[in-house]
């Protein structure tokens, strides 16, 4: 009998990186269903095409870096990046746009920095911002929601993606654009526009609630802690309340409008919770989330982009190491100042 | 009701305790050989008092304590000393160490009827401590610190709280649980002795709430006494000394300090029983309760084992199938370590022998990259950031590691347990700690070597300077003589007159010996002597790491003396040629 010598602990919990990533993928399902219902099959096609490109890029990068393919592909992280980017991109985006976005995310934002766990920026958001800066026209074209226009079917969605030249896109301003550009109507009057629903934009409110549901499930499964999402939503709501201005024509929109518009919930539960590029300690994550919420509002109200989550997240990613430096938790047996009690 | 405090983090691994609780304590009998390592405790190894061939009796002293932090060792059964040699011992590094090997004769003859102190309350604590020391008791919960040393404590450190640790939070292990169930009165008798020694204001007995039978037994046994039996929710590692103190008192042991610094002492339940046996019955520590469990044994349970019993003997009693088991662990699954083979003996700190099947504890999968999910930080009972420590440990950034309080890590393994990327974090921390300790020691050594080297260089330079000075003085004297001899010859008359006048003047003054060549040499020698002394003093104080101020002051003095010497060496030459 030869016994192996191995360091403690000898027992292990049941979680694995792959199971964490799988849960994240599962949790996107309600949001994706809502997107598909209100905006057609565009997002689904985005996700599938992005996933194929992502796996190819990941395999290419791993081969170039001489890493075992099977072992690293199993962690599902490339699929998660692709899915998140596919959701963030406007539906009916052309194939090359998606491919460029995914390649930037996987090759540049992830593998150039050393692969999973070493990337300081959220890969999906890097991909998104690269596209937004390079192709602003394609990136700001959102399809009209169900009820305001024809919702394209699967075939049309495929055509839009792979034969973009033959596809005649119908696009429309998003509710966030409307509120930002509004300077003459009281909010109340603006709300008469058919684009608005009960709390926010038609369709958007449900998409956000669906992502909220998925996020709550992830919280329940303890995939991440509540600190960053709650801090982000709270600070966004607070900023919106501060600048609500009683619903005048200069109003930035109600807190509820902001919470249920654009990529708020998707960002709060699927983007800023990316552990790799966020702050590490509990206090750090609170600050990290609050910073993003504040930035999202500032960019939405005074910036020039359709939505602000991507930029806010990248700025916060950049500050994460500083946040970490100042929020090291008090270890057992140390006083607050870092000395002893 | 006492308020229970919580500690940060913690995990809930599968308990797996029922397997070994099916039966009560079973005697493990007398094996054919007992292997007794001389170092079963923290501190200096014991000194053997017997030689191969000697016959020893049960309870006979076979090795004495070597110094203050050490314990003696007794023969657990009668027999013959077979050898005193290196044998594989249970140790994380798996090495061999000196052991006394006894070939048992099976007669189990006692050395003599040991005498105890029944009426210990009438005894001085020092006498009781002596009893405990001579019984060879070392902390039986796992650390193995000499119990008498811990109980004696720092003089003047008032102990207000005595904590009895019946937590046993490690999965699988039930040795303390069964002891509390079956021998609650013995434990409390031991606690009472410790009360007499320490005179604490309160005695808190902490147990996790997953041991209802033990809690009931203790409550019955403690009825009417002031020992508070306190139960709290099960969570690993609540049995860690620091965590238990926080749970029961809400206080934290200062980093780098001891529980005694906040007036607390912790003792394990097994240690309490050993103290009772030593004081009341005079019996040395020669056996303990050990859990044998894991799916590779068919009859898991708790055994009363003679110290030195090879694990193989115990495993056989529990129905061990070697082919199912690829690692043998001393201790529990969280903090236990693998041993090199089943021939290693049970020692004073062996609370469990765990023989898992390969299915039960599979070889860990290769580690994946850290995704910084932070689960480890949420689980860490020391409130560290394990993912950052891992990062710095990989980069060997020792400063950062210390800044992130690596040395507050209790190696509980909670971080590794939760890590979804299966990173063996604790292994990295152990290695980093060892590296840092080694670096510190190397640094100290090289610092000492540097000081020694410098002192030597200085001495050589000084001796050289002295020789040089002597040579110069001799040369000068010779020149002087030659000059004097030449005087009166074909010499400049004016110069000669001046010379004579000056000589007269010098003779008249007579008070400035330095101005005469002879006086100058004397003064120079005095200065040199002073310099040498000061330099010696400087080297000494540097070596002793004395206050910076002293060193600087000495350095200044040395410099001043050197200046004066060189000035003095110059001046006679100058005088010769005005
Ligand atoms: S649990 Fe593992 S993967 Fe997660 S942050 Fe800690 S070390 Fe990294
Ligand atoms: S092993 Fe150390 S770092 Fe890991 S959880 Fe325990 S105390 Fe924290």
DSSP secondary structure string for all residues of A129-180: HHHHHH-HHHHT-BPPPBTTBPPP-HHHHHHHHH-GGG-----B--HHHHHH
Give the tens place of pLDDT for each residue, B367-410: 888 888 888 988 999 999 999 899 999 888 888 898 889 999 99
Strand partners, B203: B162, B227
Whether residue A7 lies inside any domain: the answer is no
Q: Is A186 in the same domain as A246?
A: yes
Range list of β-strands (E), B397-532: none
Whole-angstrom Cα distance, residue B267 to residue B191? 9
Among A138, A156, A172, identify where a domain stops.
A172
What integer best gives the mean pLDDT of chain B?
86
A9 within a domain of the structure (yes/no): no
Tell which of A150, A172, A194 closes a domain.
Answer: A172
Which DSSP letter does residue B64 get?
Answer: E
Structure tokens at B85: 């040699």
Contacts of B563 (CB under 8 A, 6+ apart): none
Q: Note the pLDDT tens digit of each residue in B421-442.
A: 899 999 999 889 888 888 888 8
Please give the pLDDT value at position B511: 47
- What 3-state class would DSSP assign to A207? helix
Note whether B151 and B51 are same-domain residues. Answer: yes
Give the pairing of strands B25-27 and B264-268: unpaired
Measured by CA distance, the residue closest to atom 7 of ligand 2 is B409
Tokens of B330: 């001393």
User: Can you give the CATH number for the domain in which B274 is found?
Assistant: 3.40.50.11540
The arithmetic mean of pLDDT across residues B223-247, rounded, is 91
Helix-helix angle A17-27:A204-220, to 10 degrees? 150
Query: Above 60 in pLDDT, residue B453?
Result: yes
Strand B33-37, strand B161-165: pairing: unpaired
Q: Are residues A165 and A179 in the same domain?
A: no
CA–CA distance, A106 with A56 (Å, rounded to integer): 10
Nearest-by-Cβ selection for B364 from A12, A19, A341: A12
Mean pLDDT of B490-512: 59
A309 and A215 in a common domain: yes
A70 lies within 8 A of chain B by CB: no
Q: Are residues B456 and B549 in the same domain?
A: no
Reading the block at residue A111, the tokens are: 């593998």
Last residue of a domain, one of B325, B354, B383: B354
Return the minimum-mean-pLDDT range out of A179-193, B185-199, B231-245.
Answer: A179-193
Nearest CA in chain B to A12: B417
B416 shares its domain with B326: no
Nearest ligand (C-alpha, residue B370): 1
B59-to-B103, B112, B301 alpha-carbon distances in Å: 15, 8, 26
Q: What is the mean pLDDT of residues B159-175?
A: 92
Residue nearest to atom 2 of ligand 2 (CA): B409
pTM of the predicted model as reported, rounded to 2 decimal places: 0.76
Extract the residue ranges of chain A whose pLDDT is less than 70: 1-2, 191, 194, 249-250, 306, 336-341
A94 or B574, which is more confident: A94
**Of B308, B328, B354, which marks where a domain is finished?**
B354
B335/B264 same-domain check = yes
pLDDT at B218: 93
Whether A148 is covered by a domain: the verdict is yes
Instruction: Indicate whether B321 pLDDT > 90.
Output: no
Report how far ligand 1's centroid is from the alpha carbon of B419 (Å). Answer: 5
Most informative mutation of B336, B411, B423, B430 for ligand 2 (most atoms within 8 A of CB) = B411
Mark which of A172, A206, A222 sits at the end of a domain.
A172
Task: Please report the pLDDT score of residue B497 as a whole number.
Answer: 61
Task: State whether ipTM is beyond 0.90.
Answer: no
Euclidean distance between CA atoms B307 and B286, whole angstroms = 6
Q: Which of B369, B424, B430 sits opposite A115 (nearest CB)?
A: B369
All residues at 6 or more sequence positions from B578 whose CB lies less than 8 Å from its CB, including other chains = none
Domain that holds residue B504: 493-571
- Look at residue A10 and tell me if it is in a domain: no
B244 CB-near residues (< 8 Å, 6+ apart): B163, B165, B167, B206, B238, B266
The pLDDT, as a whole number, for residue B503 is 65
Q: Specify the 3-state DSSP secondary structure of B382.
A: coil
CA angle (B21 as vertex; B15, B26 as ends), nearest 5: 140
- Domain assignment present for B220: yes
Cα B200 from chain centroid (whole Å)? 26
- When computed from its CA atoms, the radius of gyration of chain B, rounded to whole angstroms, is 36
Test B420 with A20 for CB contact under 8 angstroms: yes
Residue A205 and residue A198 in contact, taking contact as beta carbons nearer than 8 Å: yes
DSSP B19: G
- The residue ranking higher by pLDDT, B521 or A91, is A91
For chain B, the residue count is: 578
Domain-embedded: residue B10? no
What is the total count of domains within chain B?
3
Q: Is the pLDDT of residue B159 over 50?
A: yes
Name the token pair of A21.
């990533």
Structure-token match 């049970």, residue found: B346
How far is ligand 2, taken at its centre, from the CA of residue A283, in Å?
Answer: 19
pLDDT band at B515 (very low <50, low <70, confident <90, very high): very low
Question: What is the predicted pLDDT for the residue at B328?
Answer: 92
- The three-state secondary structure class of A12 is coil
Residue B8: inside a domain: no
State residue B531's pLDDT score: 80
Given B467, B490, B513, the domain boundary residue is B490
Mutate to test the pocket of ligand 2, among B381, B393, B428 (most ligand atoms within 8 A of CB): B381
What's the confidence (pLDDT) of residue B547?
65
Is residue B543's pLDDT more than 80? no
Q: Which helix (H) or strand (E) covers residue B215, if one does? A: helix B212-222
- Do A156 and A192 fall into the same domain? no
Give the Cα separation of B354 and B20 in Å (integer).
11
| Same domain as B280, residue B291 | yes
Query: Is A5 contained in some domain?
Result: no
Shortest-distance Cα residue to atom 8 of ligand 2: B380
Q: Is residue B210 part of a domain?
A: yes
Question: Distance from A43 to chain B by nearest Cα, in Å?
Answer: 27
Shared domain for A165 and A285, answered yes or no, is no
The residue among B283, B88, B265, B261 whose CA lies nearest residue B162 is: B265
pLDDT above 60 (res B519): no
Count the domains in chain A: 2
Query: Is residue B504 very low, low, confident or very high in pLDDT (cuts 50, 70, 90)?
Result: low
Q: Let me know whether B379 and B350 are in one domain.
A: no
pLDDT tens, position by position, A5-16: 788 888 888 888
Residue B275 domain flag: yes
CA dihedral A6, A12, A16, A19 (to 10 degrees): 150
**Residue A47: domain span:** 16-172
* A152 and A241 belong to one structural domain: no
* Residue in B closest to A16 by C-alpha: B420
Q: How far is CA B365 from CA A76, A316, B158, B368, in A?
A: 17, 34, 50, 9
Region label for A31, one of left (φ > 0), alpha (ψ between -120 and 50) or beta (otherwise): alpha
Angle between helices B269-281 and B175-182 (to 10 degrees): 50
């Amino acid at each position: 009998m030869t016994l192996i010598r191995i360091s403690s602990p000898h027992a292990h919990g049941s979680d694995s990186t792959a199971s964490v990533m799988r849960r994240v993928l599962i949790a996107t399902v309600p949001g994706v269903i809502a997107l598909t219902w209100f905006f057609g099959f565009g997002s689904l096609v985005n996700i599938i095409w992005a996933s194929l490109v992502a796996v190819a890029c990941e395999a290419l990068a791993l081969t170039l870096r001489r890493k075992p393919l099977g072992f690293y592909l199993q962690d599902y992280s490339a699929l998660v990046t692709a899915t998140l980017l596919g959701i963030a991109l406007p539906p009916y985006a052309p194939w090359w746009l998606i491919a460029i976005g995914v390649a930037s995310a996987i090759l540049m934002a992830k593998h150039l920095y050393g692969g999973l766990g070493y990337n300081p920026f959220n890969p999906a958001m890097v991909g998104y911002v690269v596209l937004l800066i390079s192709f602003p026209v394609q990136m700001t074209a959102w399809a009209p929601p169900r009820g305001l226009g024809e919702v394209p079917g699967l075939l049309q969605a495929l055509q839009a993606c792979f034969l973009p030249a033959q596809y005649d896109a119908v696009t429309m301003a998003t509710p966030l654009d409307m509120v930002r550009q509004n300077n003459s109507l009281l909010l109340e009057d603006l709300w008469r526009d058919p684009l608005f629903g009960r709390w926010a934009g038609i369709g958007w409110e449900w998409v956000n609630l669906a992502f909220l549901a998925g996020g709550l499930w992830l919280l329940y499964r303890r995939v991440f802690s509540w600190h960053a999402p709650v801090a982000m939503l709270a600070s966004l709501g607070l900023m919106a309340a501060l600048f609500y201005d009683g619903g005048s024509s200069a109003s930035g929109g109600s807190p509820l409008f902001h919470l249920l518009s654009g990529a708020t919930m998707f960002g709060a539960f699927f983007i800023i919770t990316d552990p790799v590029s966020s702050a590490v300690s509990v206090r750090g994550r609170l600050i990290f989330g609050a910073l993003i919420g504040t930035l999202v509002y500032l960019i939405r109200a005074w910036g020039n982009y359709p939505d602000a989550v991507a930029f806010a997240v990248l700025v916060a990613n950049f500050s994460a190491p500083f946040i970490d430096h100042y929020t090291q938790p008090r270890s057992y047996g140390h006083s607050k100042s870092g000395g002893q009690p | 009701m006492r308020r229970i405090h919580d500690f940060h983090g913690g995990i809930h691994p599968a308990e797996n305790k029922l397997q070994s609780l099916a039966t009560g304590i079973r005697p493990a009998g007398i094996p054919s050989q007992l292997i007794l390592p001389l170092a079963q405790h923290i501190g200096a190894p014991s000194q053997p008092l017997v030689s191969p061939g000697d016959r020893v009796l049960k309870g006979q002293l076979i090795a004495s304590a070597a110094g203050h932090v050490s314990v003696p060792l007794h023969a657990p059964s009668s027999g013959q000393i077979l050898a005193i040699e290196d044998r594989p011992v249970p140790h994380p590094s798996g090495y061999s160490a000196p052991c006394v090997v006894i070939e048992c004769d099976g007669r189990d003859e006692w050395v003599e009827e040991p005498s105890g102190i029944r009426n210990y309350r009438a005894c001085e604590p020092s006498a009781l401590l002596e009893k405990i020391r001579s019984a060879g008791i070392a902390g039986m919960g796992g650390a193995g610190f000499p119990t008498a040393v811990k109980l004696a404590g720092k003089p003047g450190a008032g102990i207000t709280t005595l904590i009895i640790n019946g937590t046993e939070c490690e999965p699988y292990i039930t040795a303390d649980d069964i002891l509390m169930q079956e021998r609650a009165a013995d434990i409390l008798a031991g606690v009472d002795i410790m009360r007499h020694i320490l005179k604490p204001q309160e005695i808190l007995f902490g147990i996790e709430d997953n041991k209802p039978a033990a809690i009931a037994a203790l409550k019955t046994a403690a009825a009417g006494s002031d020992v508070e039996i306190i139960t709290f929710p099960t969570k690993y590692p609540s049995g860690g000394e620091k965590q238990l103190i926080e749970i029961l008192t809400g206080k934290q042991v200062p980093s780098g300090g001891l529980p005694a610094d906040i007036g607390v002492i912790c003792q394990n339940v097994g240690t309490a029983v050993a103290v009772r046996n030593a004081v009341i019955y005079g019996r040395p520590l020669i056996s303990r309760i050990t859990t044998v469990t894991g799916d590779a044994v068919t009859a898991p349970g708790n055994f009363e084992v003679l110290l030195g019993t090879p694990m193989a003997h115990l495993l056989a009693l529990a129905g061990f199938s070697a082919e199912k088991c690829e690692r043998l662990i001393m201790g529990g699954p969280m903090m236990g370590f693998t041993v090199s083979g089943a021939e290693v003996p049970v020692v004073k700190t062996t609370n469990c022998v765990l023989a898992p099947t390969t299915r039960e504890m599979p070889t860990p999968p290769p580690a994946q990259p850290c995704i910084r999910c932070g689960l480890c930080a949420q689980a860490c009972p020391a409130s560290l950031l394990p993912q950052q420590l891992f990062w710095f440990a990989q980069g060997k950034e020792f400063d950062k590691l210390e800044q992130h309080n690596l040395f507050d890590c209790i190696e509980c393994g909670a971080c590794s347990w939760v890590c979804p990327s299966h990173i063996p974090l604790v292994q990295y921390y152990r290695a980093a700690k060892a590296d840092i300790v080694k670096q510190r020691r190397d640094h100290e050594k090289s610092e000492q070597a540097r000081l020694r080297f410098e002192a030597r260089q200085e001495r050589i330079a000084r001796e050289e300077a002295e020789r040089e000075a002597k040579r110069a003085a001799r040369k000068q004297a010779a020149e002087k003589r030659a000059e004097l001899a030449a005087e009166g010859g074909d010499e400049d008359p004016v110069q000669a007159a001046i010379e004579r006048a000056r000589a007269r003047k010098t003779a008249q003054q007579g008070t400035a010996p330095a101005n005469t060549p002879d006086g100058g040499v004397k003064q120079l020698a005095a200065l040199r002597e002073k310099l040498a002394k000061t330099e010696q003093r400087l080297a000494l104080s540097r070596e002793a790491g004395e206050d910076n101020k002293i060193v600087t002051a000495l350095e200044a003095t040395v410099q001043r003396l050197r200046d004066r010497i060189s000035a003095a060496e110059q001046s006679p030459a100058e005088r010769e040629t005005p």
